[in-house]
Structure 1
Amino acid sequence: MQHDNGLRDGASRAVRLESFGGPDVLELQEVPEPHAGDGQIRVRVTAAGLNPMDWLMTADAEAAARFGLTLPVGFGTDFAGVVDQVGAGTSDYVVGDRVFGAALSRAVADHVVLDADGHIASGIAHHTPDGVDDRTAATLSIAGSTAAAALDVLDLGPDDTVLLGGAGGGVGVFAVQLARIAGARVVGTGSPSSAEYLRSLGAEPVAYGEGLTDRVRAIGGTFTAALDLHGTDTVQAARELGVPDGRICTIAGQVDGVPAANGANAGPEALANIARLVAAGRVRVPIAATFPVEDIRAAVELQAARHVRGKVVIDLCPQP
């Protein structure tokens, strides 16, 4: 039997790749509907947030292998939705619970099945606080945990001035605001056209590119920490400004002597804390664009261009 949405009984939808590559290899496919087993929950996904890692790790076989991915494979990691099945032996969730979380390279789908006490590879969920809509919740996991892990390395306080490279990106949205909540002064790099956007997040803007160190010096103040969210240019500038290596952190580039952060190293309460800050209005998440799942290729093209200010979100069903 075929339903009004075009799906047959027992079928669901998922974005899949049959070969590695760019947005052109993404396909919305009909797949068997998954079900929660013992110790698992199934989430009816309402929204999925995109991150650079989604398309970077499915671009080629070598990148995919580093994440344990083989073909055919799904797409996207961040999601939000509603629990619609609970397996035996699961006590922390009930049908109807709103949740958000991460399911490595399989989040852009009508349903995701997760271990109730899982991790990013098997899937992990957190309860969505009242006051946080699903589109926003779907942006939190990867970028929020990465920002939290990096700021744990820097341990910022009111006496700090931090140079934050790539402040307008997906992780930067969280890093700027969390650093400000910690009391630090934030100088954030971005394109000249992003200056007002960076100010709206709480950063003092400075244009990236050649001559960065001189432009930062002209802003004034003593820089005590730095976070490079894009490559290594901010690391170089921070060193020239006298910031010690132990108070510099990267997430994308590797520099000898400089700590690197990964979202998997975030504290166990990091995402719950960020979600509460969002609910309280102390952290905001700009949503740059939303796309229906049928337009997944256009959404990934926009996100991969790296010029978007804020997060790109895929809608999978009407928002609650």
Structure 2
Amino acid sequence: MTLSSAVEVRVRAYGFVRVGGPEQESFLEVPVPEPGPGELLVRVRAAGVNPGDWRLREGSYGELRAAVFGREVAGTVLRLGPGVTGFAPGDEVFGGCPGMVGGWAEQALVTAGFAAHRPDGVSPAAAAVLPVAAGTAYDALTQLALPAGATLLVNGAGGGVGVPLLQLARLRGIRVVGTASPAKHEFVAALGAVPVAYGDGVVDRILAAAPQGVDGVFDLVGGDALRAVATLVPPERLFSVADKALVAALGGRDVVRDRSTRVLAALARLVAAGELDPHVTEVRPLSEAGAALALVERGHARGKVVLVP
């Protein structure tokens, strides 16, 4: 991935100038990205907001450089990088953004191998939020490989990954028990799961909801909440994307992301068929990017937040 050396053509973007807190965020004028091998340049129509954005700003991923926010977008293809096939200028696509040149911009790069054509029945906002949260949920269920009729515990069921996961599990005939704050119990139940409250006694409440036990655990919380439920399943049935170090210490596993066109196309078909609702609840202009990220960082977003340049 490279940035164009041309300085006369620049686009507006939102990112951070150095690692730290929200005070490091800023609107930027950046060169139009040049698509490298295996990349697409798209005119962004919608971009997803994720916890990974503020974690990147804080340096949680070990990257200490300035960057443009945004890990997923939907947009119109402008140019193809070398070796890209299956796409053409003018195509409506969605997918994941490579590296540090993110999608909160007027134009952005998309990894061609982690991109798919956007069906007519799927809005740019709905498509833009599929690669990260829904993609993680899809991959988790694939790797858990639970059969229809099995019971899955989702630790933190009311969050960004939990919402698509509950829906995808229901489509596979998997029964879900989901821990969530009391304020989200009605929402979790509406998605087809049995909600239980966090905190002391959580294992007893889980077993009351699933007297035969659970066949798998997918953790989205980490820390003490993960420790509390880890004993419910053998280590090979324990997954977490929230606390990679702890789940490994407990003998469990992280979810290995597929990040393929195949997965994105499958998710888009489910959205188009009305079987998967990405739950986009906030659509804001790029000019409100800071406020949108603050909403996600404070944990106050109920559903997915999208920016529109």
The answer, yes or no, to whether TM exceeds 0.5 is yes
Structure 1 residues 218 and 140: alpha-carbon distance in aligned structure 2, compared to 1, 3 A threshold: same
Question: Could you tell me which residue of structure 2 aligns to residue 112 of structure 1?
Answer: 108
Equivalence map 1:134-213=2 (5 Å): 134-213=124-203
- SS state of the match for residue 239, structure 2? strand
* Residues 103, 109 of structure 2: 8 Å contact kept: no
Among all aligned residue pairs of Structure 1 and Structure 2, give the percentage whose two residues are the same amino acid.
39
TM-score (norm 1): 0.85
Structure 1 residues 40 and 213: alpha-carbon distance in aligned structure 2, compared to 1, 3 A threshold: closer
One-letter code of the match for 1:110? E
In 1: Cα distance, 2:224 partner to 2:151 partner: 18
- SS state of the match for residue 153, structure 2? strand
In 2: Cα distance, 1:274 partner to 1:261 partner: 21
1:48 aligns with 2:43: no
Equivalence map 1:97-136=2 (5 Å): 97-103=91-97, 104-105=99-100, 106-114=102-110, 116-117=112-113, 124-136=114-126
* Residues 187, 205 of structure 1: 8 Å contact kept: yes
- SS state of the match for residue 49, structure 1? strand
In 2: Cα distance, 1:234 partner to 1:310 partner: 22
In 2: Cα distance, 1:267 partner to 1:233 partner: 33
* Residues 153, 261 of structure 1: 8 Å contact kept: no
In 2: Cα distance, 1:94 partner to 1:224 partner: 44
Stretches of structure 1 lacking an aligned partner (at least 5 in a row) = 1-7, 118-123
Stretches of structure 2 lacking an aligned partner (at least 5 in a row) = 1-6
1:312 aligns with 2:305: yes
Question: Alpha-carbon deviation of 1:59?
Answer: 0.5
Question: Could you tell me which residue of structure 2 aligns to residue 227 of structure 1?
Answer: 218
Question: Could you tell me which residue of structure 1 aligns to residue 3 of structure 2?
Answer: none
In 2: Cα distance, 1:114 partner to 1:101 partner: 6
In 2: Cα distance, 1:243 partner to 1:129 partner: 39
CA RMSD of aligned residues (A): 2.3
1:76 aligns with 2:102: no
* Residues 19, 64 of structure 2: 8 Å contact kept: no
Structure 1 residues 115 and 47: alpha-carbon distance in aligned structure 2, compared to 1, 3 A threshold: closer
- SS state of the match for residue 166, structure 2? helix
Question: Alpha-carbon deviation of 1:88?
Answer: 5.8
Question: Alpha-carbon deviation of 1:270?
Answer: 2.2
- SS state of the match for residue 281, structure 1? coil
In 1: Cα distance, 2:205 partner to 2:36 partner: 57
In 2: Cα distance, 1:88 partner to 1:244 partner: 46
- SS state of the match for residue 33, structure 2? coil
Structure 1 residues 249 and 111: alpha-carbon distance in aligned structure 2, compared to 1, 3 A threshold: same
Question: Alpha-carbon deviation of 1:249?
Answer: 1.0
Question: Alpha-carbon deviation of 1:21?
Answer: 1.7
1:92 aligns with 2:86: yes
Question: Could you tell me which residue of structure 2 aligns to residue 273 of structure 1?
Answer: 266
Structure 1 residues 9 and 161: alpha-carbon distance in aligned structure 2, compared to 1, 3 A threshold: same
In 1: Cα distance, 2:195 partner to 2:266 partner: 27
Question: Could you tell me which residue of structure 2 aligns to residue 250 of structure 1?
Answer: 240
Question: Could you tell me which residue of structure 2 aligns to residue 299 of structure 1?
Answer: 292
Equivalence map 1:19-30=2 (5 Å): 19-30=18-29
In 2: Cα distance, 1:267 partner to 1:35 partner: 22
One-letter code of the match for 2:14? V
* Residues 50, 314 of structure 1: 8 Å contact kept: yes
